[in-house]
Amino acid sequence: MTQRRQTWSWAMYDWANSAFATTVMAGFFPLFFKLYWSQGVEVTQTTYYLGVGNSIASLVVVILAPILGAMADTGALRKRMLAAFACLGLLATGALYLVEAGMWPFAILLYAIAVVGFSGANTFYDALLVIISAVSTRHRVSALGFALGYLGGGLLFLVNVLMYLFPHRFGLTDGTEAIRWSFVTVALWWAVFSIPIFLWVDEPVPASGRRRVDFAGTFAALAQTARNLRHYRGAWLFLLAYWLYIDGVDTIVRMAVDYGLNIGLGQESLIIALLMVQFIGFPAALVFGRLGERYGARRGIWIAIWAYVGVTVFAYFMDSAIELYTLAAVIGLVQGGIQALSRSMFSQLIPPEKSAEFFGFYNVVGKAAAVFGPFLMGLVTLSTGNPRIGILSILVLFFAGMLVFRKVREPDTNQPA
């Protein structure tokens, strides 16, 4: 019963923080930033500073994640660092309610802080997977987390969309007030559903007998990892493959709305498609976890990558809302699966005692993803004047990822944690 409670308590953090990814990152922040906080400011200027804010937040995570991961490993501080970054993220998210019209620099600052909190906390959350699950069940447990994330994030996003569309039914004056309150709901949701992981997930005490920050041990651990890179060849090959194919996945996620608008699809259709991905992703991630457990994560990831190849080709020909919904359904079927199996397969390729450090690198790769893909898509679209050819260029990332992934051997899972 204790193991089952630990598993569900760990997975509930995905339910908690996915509200930020859906309502804030993918949904309302970009919309509100343009329509409310940037009133009276040149669109090109605000777009530039929004991009700078995102880039700075990503850079902070890229620099800190491996260092703090090694620190968490040496001092057994995964849960404490998870709590610190989660608090940073949810407080900054809730504070967005206080930002008045025209205060776009303050909005960008809070958003960047929230992204650092969200991304930083994920490093330590992912690292706990090695502790709370046996190697043989890790695909299923990782998938459970992503599945609950899709369901929880989708449910709150649905409520927030209804608040925006029908503000009077929620006792709100208009859509503007609804969006401001949605940031508060995300912060509360994130805080409340994070409680189980801190109450019921146990992190072993280090060999020294107490949890503490060990700067010397941290940099010694990083140096040792650098010296022993040849022993972790599978992990580094996987990270390269992951960077390529997840760049393609994230490019589709981040550029889908822009592409849909470019080819003439309506905003309502795009919101419905986003909700479809969330709710289809819930059961699909669970199924992929079972498939990974039975047939291996490698096979499941192959299936998902080929599905994304099909999605990209289909998007080239898409021109109606019905086709958009079909595409959303397929993406929902594989998106959670490729994320869950990538996380669990990587956890099997790394030394357990360095889990937070290696997941620091994993999250660095995740943040570095969707850098080249959107640039490639934008450049091809600009050069050809055709957004359909732009989306087709993403195939390069999927095929390159598959070439590298062919060299990654799946480890034996018939062993204890």
Digit-coded pLDDT (tens) for 301-336: 999 999 999 999 998 999 888 998 998 899 999 998
Query: What is the mean predicted confidence (pLDDT) over 122-130?
Result: 89
The answer to whether the CB of 47 falls within 8 A of the CB of 38 is no
Q: Is the pLDDT of residue 414 over 60?
A: no
Delineate the domains of the chain, giving CATH numbers in brackets: 2-208+215-405 (1.20.1250.20)
Q: How far is residue 180's CA from residue 164's CA, in Å, rounded to a whole number?
A: 10
Q: What are the residues whose beta carbons fall under 8 Å from the beta carbon of 416, sequence distance 6 or more?
A: 134, 135
Task: Output 44 or 253, whichever has higher pLDDT.
Answer: 253
For the ranges 123-127, 176-180, 208-212, the lowest mean pLDDT is seen at 208-212
Give the predicted TM-score (pTM) of the model.
Answer: 0.83
pLDDT of residue 45: 61
The answer to whether the CB of 282 falls within 8 A of the CB of 152 is no
Q: Is the pLDDT of residue 108 over 80?
A: yes
Share of the chain above pLDDT 90, in %: 40
Q: Report the residue count for the chain.
A: 417
pLDDT of residue 309: 95
The answer to whether the CB of 254 falls within 8 A of the CB of 370 is yes
Which residues in 246-296 belong to E strands, given as ranges?
Answer: none
Q: What are the residues whose beta carbons fall under 8 Å from the beta carbon of 90, sequence distance 6 or more?
A: 20, 114, 117, 186, 187, 190, 191, 194
Give me the phi and psi of 156, to 5 degrees please. -70, -40
Closest CA to 365 of 274, 236, 254: 236
Torsion 53-58-60-63 (CA) sign:
negative
Q: What are the residues whose beta carbons fall under 8 Å from the beta carbon of 20, sequence distance 6 or more?
A: 89, 90, 93, 114, 118, 186, 190
Q: 74 falls in which pLDDT band (50, 70, 90)?
A: confident
Q: How far is residue 157's CA from residue 15's CA, in Å, rounded to a whole number?
A: 12
Q: How far is residue 357's CA from residue 66's CA, in Å, rounded to a whole number?
A: 5
Closest CA to 11 of 184, 188, 158, 150: 150
